[in-house]
Structure 1
Amino acid sequence: MPHTAVPSEIDVRTLVPMQRHQKIFQLVDELAPGGKFVLINDHDPKPLYYQLEAEHPQQFSWAYLERGPEVWRVEICRLSKAA
């Protein structure tokens, strides 16, 4: 199994808001098909979902693991390429 540099979890609460989307999109771009990570945030990252879907339509799954009120955890997975 090839080694990937993408962490299994990314906690963006330590980043200033301006840097959060940039960091998340960097990780998304590095995901191999079938790869995934869990995003940890201090608010519902719904705007990120819309941005992701706009830039990479139907290439990712988005599943809430925890929905606040203090912590949101979302599993973001790159879908395997369609055959």
Structure 2
Amino acid sequence: FGKTGPTKLDIAVYYALVGDFMLPHILGRPVSLVRCPTGKPQDCFFQRHAFTGMPSSVATFEATNSEGESKSYLS
């Protein structure tokens, strides 16, 4: 978020505060994560699919995409 925006800790604290209210509405629903591994906007990407080695605490489900392929999505 740059030098003037919220920090990762600020975001974590926010989700810790609103999690009990938010989780019942998002459990079991597909999610996309915006990932910025280097912190540079040009390196950001959306992640919708689970990857090998993802922790078992991250829920996934199988679905068929528009091309007829079965994929594992995050939920």
When normalised by structure 2's length, the TM-score is 0.29
For the pair shown, which has the larger CA radius of gyration, 1 or 2? 2
Work out which structure has the larger RCO, using CA pairs closer than 8 Å and 6 or more positions apart in sequence: 1
Which has a greater percent of strand?
1
